[in-house]
Copies of this chain bind each other. A is one copy, B any other.
Amino acid sequence: MSLKHTPPPAAALALLLAAFAGPAAAQSSVTLFGVVDVGVQSLKNGSKRLSLQSIDGLQTSRLGFRGSEDLGGGLSASFHLEGAIGPDTGAGFDFRRRATLSLASKELGELRLGRDYTPTFWNISRFNPFGTNGVGAASNLVYGFEGKSATAKTVIRSDNSVGYFLPGGLGGVYGQAMLAAGEGSTGKYEGLRLGYAEGALDLAAAVSQTVNTAAGDKFKVGNIGASYRLGAVQLMALYHVSKQQTRKQTNGVLGVLYAIGNGTVRASYTQAKLSDTGVNNTGRMLAIGYRHDLSKRSALYATASRVSNSAQGQFLIPGGSAVAPGESSQGLELGLYHSF
């Protein structure tokens, strides 16, 4: 939990000062929410086939508690506590998906403290049709980075973070800054995301740097993504770069969502190029799926995907055994999703 960096941005400081002037008009609401997502999955890595009960094919199964309080004068306090659950085995429960406390102002933005998603995560999640869940997720190739990114536990979230979010009403501009302490297995994180969403367009770029606590080297991430809506069609694109010492990985994603009746067809092409001293591997994933909404909160889904590798590549759909260099990985899943 050690935190040895520069003070929070001036806007956050102004937010704290504004809080001291506000009157006290408490109005409360606590919401219990969650997702349960269970299915069956078939994976074929190389020649090895594995069938299993899978979870989280559409969204990660979770349980959470959140609430906010209007403090008057445009100020509010809010909390968000959310943890993953495993409906296949009954596993759980902590709040490691998100555990934050916020002080927000309509004019000045939000100061958010605790364990939260990193700015660079959001572009991976938002700008591909499968998000970060299931056999078709772009993250299957992004998270890989052949283990090197694991030394920085900030690819998705960071402990001990101090975050700042721009307020609404900036003509479509949105943004997030995050500073987090380096301690234990979590490296010191600094990240920034800036976006623009107006009408059919959503466009955002993010950069981050995490100091590898063990070795002291830096894990750097940069990405830019966009989506554009054309009637029933939504197009998406993402470019993502991961670097650590001599190793570098670039990912490109092209995707499309097509709304049809109560359903949505989803398709994407994801590429990964990994280079290091004597290493030059490429992986490609094609994914197609269909989500059928039974209601606003329940859906059936099916997804199929295939990862092919260059001669020495070992990219794969996670969950099964490893692939030998150059082997392919295939996944098929069918599931039921419900949120509450």
Q: How many of chain A's residues have a CB under 8 angstroms from any CB in B?
A: 76
Asked whether, in the complex, the Cβ of A297 is within 8 Å of the Cβ of B97, the reply is: no
Residue-wise, chain A 16-35 has the 8 Å CB interface mask toward B (1 for contact) of: 10011010111010101010
Asked whether, in the complex, the Cβ of B77 is within 8 Å of the Cβ of A298, the reply is: yes
Asked whether, in the complex, the Cβ of A159 is within 8 Å of the Cβ of B89, the reply is: yes
Q: Which of B26, B52, B94, B298 contacts A1 (CB 8 A)?
A: B52
Asked whether, in the complex, the Cβ of B160 is within 8 Å of the Cβ of A300, the reply is: no
The binding surface of chain A is classed by DSSP as strand
Contacts of A34 in B (CB 8 A): 65, 79, 81
Top 10 nearest A-B pairs (CB, nearest first) are A90-B96, A1-B52, A26-B295, A53-B160, A38-B113, A87-B114, A24-B295, A90-B99, A77-B298, A90-B95
**A→B interface (CB under 8 Å):** 1-4, 16, 19-20, 22, 24-26, 28, 30, 32, 34, 36-40, 50-54, 63, 65, 67, 69, 71-72, 75, 77-79, 81, 83, 85-101, 103, 113-115, 159-162, 181, 183, 262, 292-298, 300, 336, 338, 340
The 12 sampled A-B contact pairs (Cβ below 8 Å) are A3-B52, A20-B300, A24-B262, A24-B293, A38-B114, A72-B295, A79-B338, A79-B340, A83-B92, A90-B95, A90-B97, A101-B336
